Structure 1
Amino acid sequence: MPGGSIRRRLLESPDGYIESRELGPTARAFAPEAEPLLLVHSTPGAARSFDFLMPLLAEQRRVIALSSPGYGASDRPPEPYTELGQYARALARGLDGLGVDRASLFGAQTGSLLAAEFAAAYPERTVRLALEEPFHWGTPARREALLRIHSYEPPRPDGQHLLALWRRTWRHHERQRAQRRRNGSALADQDLEPVSESILQTLRVNSAAGADVYGEAGWLGAAPYAMGRYDTWTRVAAIRAPTLVIHGTTSQLGRAHDRFVEVIPNARGLRLPSDANFLPNQAPELFASELLAFLDEERPG
């Protein structure tokens, strides 16, 4: 069983501190002898968003979550990032700070493209790769949609911006809660705490100061800005690690599933039961079981 509580650290890097959260199979949550698994969060999430999942994965692994620069407790970079390669470099620096040479990666939702870029840029450091709901956002219409979803809410004296952010987050959470109940998940009734946590993470990046490059999206649009300009199909074709591509059975993004499986050289696909896009918190136990089975597969050669 995982031992102790999640260990939190701030790691130094040239672009500021990077937040790290870890859990492992012994009382020493950093368990250096355990195989590392790096969890890459979605936008505007942070390392903390994986707290519900880490205990399900950490029985035999050193599970690590890093907050991307500008998210969670990680510092904003001195200059706004505009390319996924910069975010991937921050992940590499975080692993360096933890003394990790190689790791398997899981990328959640929009974080799937960041995990993919890490695998493409650092093949020697990537053991296995799992991508949840990856999508190609690099068209004008999709870029606009991505930035609209992650839009800045200017502060208002009456606090209506807080209500707008709450409603946006609650609509998303309600869909996930309904799916968890259908799946019989033990986490089905943990209602308001995850929403409150999501709001806190969103407020952390709901700012426009120094973020002119992202337009009206502000810092909420930082990572989405880079994703919308990512050369998806060229970059994922460079991935060499065994890869699992995950989409929900009714995912709106699932139309890209077959192409990701086709373009990534050593990939296979998995469709999990879903209501719209699949998220791990819809069926945490099922997801953890599938991910661990993939990570435990015999490696070629």
Structure 2
Amino acid sequence: MKTIAILATAMLLGTGIRATPLPATHATTTYRYANVDGVRVFYREAGPKDAPTLVLLHGFPSSSRQFDSLIPLLATRYHLVAPDYPGFGQSDSPDPSKYPYTFDNLAKTTNGLLEQLGLKHYALYLHDYGGPVGFRIMLAHPERVDALIVSNANAYQEGLGKKWALIAGYWKDPKAHPDVFESFVSRDAAEKRHTLGTSHPERYHPDTWADEFAHLSQPGQRAIQSSLLFDYRNNVAAYPEWQAWLRKHKPPTLVVWGNNDPSFIGAGGEAYKRDVPDAEVHLLDAGHFPWDEQVDAIASLVLAFLDRRPRR
């Protein structure tokens, strides 16, 4: 059979017939850049542009790459945009003297990208650092947010795992606790953010944390990440404001939370129902990056949730 296939291919080539490449489908991801206030911002995009938009906001220390397995499963029915924040992934990493690395600034740049793309309505998918970025965008532009999807993006004091007590010491005096930051950006921490507590270690790709640690090891990253870790104290202080926004606006909310996450524990996912009583909450057998091992389940839940929403 192999010989026949080779001969058939040779005959086609001999007649001048060439294979026609398949056209791109809605699920095909494209990789783009935009200039936002002088910062080159990278973003992934997929899905039909006339469909409702879902903006995916990534966590630390990853990038929009963390959604690579999820995007094709959602892009058949929705328009997806997933940016890299400045200092992450393929976006520029401006010098901290020119671009202060605070969550206010990350949110401002991300919102600038969404406005540049002409997105007037969208659902937000928040993960980890995507929580403080997304909540700032929601507070500034509540009229644009059609729905909220949350995976291990904390907004409640009870959602903070044990390690946050050590980080609180770092917030009080960073110079007195250098070990906290060193542990935060270590290779061991990069791996355990994915694998700690997992029931399915065979589903985890080692290149993921190897690449994340390689990024953290680049020149300038220590200054960037130490600034953001220190600024994270302002996110915890803002929890009451975020909760008040949820109570006031009550956006349609889906929580798909990795229940084995030692950083943002399951109680933080359940707490969303306190301010959005109709929130749909699913605590999954997964870790901090839940789609690493539950991508099919999460895609099914997200599609069912979004399909129930009225389309603008």
TM-score range normalised by the length of the shorter chain: 0.7 to 0.9
Counterpart position of 2:13: none
Out of 7-16 and 60-69, give the one that drifted further.
Answer: 7-16
Q: For each residue in 1:178-225, what CA deviation from the matched residue of structure 2 results, as whole angstroms up to 9, or x when unmatched?
A: 4365xxxxxx2x6333233323333347634xxxxxxxxx31234433
1:122 & 1:150 partners in 2: Cα distance?
35
* Contact 2:52–2:311 (8 Å) recurs in 1: no
Which one of the candidate residues 216, 229, 233 is aligned to 1:228? 233
Counterpart position of 1:97: 116
2:99 & 2:270 partners in 1: Cα distance?
37
* Contact 1:18–1:69 (8 Å) recurs in 2: yes
2:210 & 2:165 partners in 1: Cα distance?
33
Which one of the candidate residues 214, 230, 237 is aligned to 1:200? 214
Counterpart position of 1:169: 190
Q: What is the SS of the residue equivalent to 1:12?
A: strand
Match status 1:284 vs 2:295: yes
Q: What is the SS of the residue equivalent to 2:39?
A: coil
Find runs of 4+ consecutive structure 1 residues off by over 6 angstroms. 137-140, 145-150
Which one of the candidate residues 109, 114, 120 is aligned to 2:133? 114
| Structure 1 unaligned residues grouped into runs of 5+ | 25-30, 154-163, 182-187, 209-217
Q: Which has the higher helix share?
A: 2
Identical-residue share of aligned pairs (%): 21
* Contact 2:43–2:82 (8 Å) recurs in 1: yes
Which one of the candidate residues 32, 48, 55 is aligned to 1:38? 55
- Describe the shift of the 1:39–1:180 C-alpha distance in structure 2 as closer, same or farther (beyond 3 A): farther
Counterpart position of 2:258: 248
Out of 9-18 and 261-270, give the one that drifted further.
Answer: 261-270
- Describe the shift of the 1:116–1:194 C-alpha distance in structure 2 as closer, same or farther (beyond 3 A): same
Post-superposition shift, 1:251? 4.4
- Describe the shift of the 1:107–1:62 C-alpha distance in structure 2 as closer, same or farther (beyond 3 A): same
Out of 55-64 and 135-144, give the one that drifted further.
Answer: 135-144
Q: What is the SS of the residue equivalent to 1:238?
A: helix
Post-superposition shift, 1:283? 0.7
- Describe the shift of the 1:180–1:61 C-alpha distance in structure 2 as closer, same or farther (beyond 3 A): farther
| Structure 2 unaligned residues grouped into runs of 5+ | 1-23
* Contact 2:257–2:266 (8 Å) recurs in 1: yes
- Describe the shift of the 1:122–1:207 C-alpha distance in structure 2 as closer, same or farther (beyond 3 A): same
Match status 1:130 vs 2:134: no
Q: What is the SS of the residue equivalent to 1:198?
A: helix
Q: For each residue in 1:73-101, what CA deviation from the matched residue of structure 2 results, as whole angstroms up to 9, or x when unmatched?
A: 2223523133x333222221111222222
1:17-32 equivalences in 2 (<5 Å): 17-24=40-47, 31-32=48-49
* Contact 1:46–1:71 (8 Å) recurs in 2: yes
Counterpart position of 2:74: 57
1:250 & 1:176 partners in 2: Cα distance?
5
- Describe the shift of the 1:192–1:237 C-alpha distance in structure 2 as closer, same or farther (beyond 3 A): same
Match status 1:269 vs 2:278: no
Q: For each residue in 1:8-37, what CA deviation from the matched residue of structure 2 results, as whole angstroms up to 9, or x when unmatched?
A: 11111115111111121xxxxxx3212211
Letter in 2 for 1:85: D
Post-superposition shift, 1:141? 4.9
Q: What is the SS of the residue equivalent to 1:106?
A: strand
Letter in 1 for 2:85: S
Which one of the candidate residues 235, 239, 244 is aligned to 1:237? 244
Letter in 2 for 1:51: D
Post-superposition shift, 1:226? 3.1
1:233 & 1:105 partners in 2: Cα distance?
20
Counterpart position of 1:257: 269
1:17 & 1:223 partners in 2: Cα distance?
19
* Contact 1:152–1:220 (8 Å) recurs in 2: no
Letter in 1 for 2:296: E
Which one of the candidate residues 88, 94, 116 is aligned to 1:71? 88
Q: For each residue in 1:118-161, what CA deviation from the matched residue of structure 2 results, as whole angstroms up to 9, or x when unmatched?
A: 222211111111111233469875534799898358xxxxxxxx
Q: For each residue in 1:157-184, what CA deviation from the matched residue of structure 2 results, as whole angstroms up to 9, or x when unmatched?
A: xxxxxxx843332334444764365xxx
Post-superposition shift, 1:284? 0.6
TM score, norm. by length of structure 2 = 0.72
